[in-house]
Amino acid sequence: MFERDGVTYEFHHLGIPTDQPREGERYSALYDMYTSDADSELLHVQYHRYGPASTLHALMRSLPHPAFKVSDLERAIQGKEVVLGPYEPIDDYRVAVIIDGGVPVELIQTGLSDEEIWGRARSGRQSSLYARPE
């Protein structure tokens, strides 16, 4: 954890682009993106596979990105190159992606626990990003 310009940053996960289908993928029609979670113990890793209709920034589709929980999302993105958001892909979970030093960085502001975040993402409930048809 560290602080910069009055904002606290805490590492949350690492996103890695892949072109290989993986077991347990969930689909986001919003971004034509498939996401799966690595079976890892030391850090949370998400793999993202993009379809041809994905509108996400080219750097997000091609480079790994670190994700940090921040204490103040609006302040964290002030004066930065914002390429996504801010938006709320999961209820009570606000996200923006900036480009910092040529690398995409995901910034998250939420009061949810990690169990709540990953549970909502996996189930598609309370999630516009991974919503499942009724």
**Per-residue pLDDT at 90:** 83
Map out the domains of the chain as residue ranges: 2-123
* Residue 118, pLDDT above cutoff 80: no
CATH fold of 2-123, please?
A: 2,3-Dihydroxybiphenyl 1,2-Dioxygenase; domain 1 (3.10.180)
**Per-residue pLDDT at 41:** 86
Q: What mean pLDDT do residues 70-90 have?
A: 96
**Per-residue pLDDT at 126:** 56
**Per-residue pLDDT at 117:** 81
User: Going along the chain, which residue ranges are E strands?
Assistant: 2-4, 7-17, 26-28, 33-37, 45-50, 65-70, 81-90, 93-100, 103-110
* Residue 77, pLDDT above cutoff 90: yes
Q: What is the pTM of this model?
A: 0.88
Alpha carbon distance 96, 81 (integer Å): 10
**Per-residue pLDDT at 54:** 97
- Kindly state the percentage of the chain with pLDDT values over 70: 90
Q: Is 111 exposed, middle or buried (CB count within 10 Å of its CB: 0-12, 13-18, 19+)?
A: exposed
